[in-house]
Amino acid sequence: MAKGYVIITEDIKDPEGMAEYGKLAMKAMGGATILAVDTAPTVIEGEWPATQTVVLEFESVAAASEWYYSEAYQQAATIRNRAAVCNGVIVSGF
* AA letter at 61: V
Residue 56 burial by Cβ neighbours in a 10 Å radius (0-12, 13-18, 19+): buried
pTM for this predicted structure: 0.92
With a pLDDT cut of 90, the percent of the chain lying above it is 95
Q: Which domain holds residue 54?
A: 4-41+50-92
4-24 mean pLDDT: 96
For residue 80, CA distances in Å to 23, 25, 58, 86 come to: 11, 9, 20, 8
26-30 mean pLDDT: 90
What's residue 4's pLDDT? 98
Q: Which tens digit of pLDDT belongs to each residue from 50-84?
A: 999 999 999 999 999 999 999 999 999 999 999 99
Phi, psi at residue 45, to the nearest 5°? -150, 145
27-43 mean pLDDT: 94
Mapping DSSP to helix (H, G, I), strand (E, B) and coil, where does residue 36 land?
strand
pLDDT at 91 over 90: yes
pLDDT at 1 over 90: no
The domain that contains 81 carries what CATH number? 3.30.70.100
Q: What's the structural domain count of the chain?
A: 1
Residue 52 burial by Cβ neighbours in a 10 Å radius (0-12, 13-18, 19+): middle
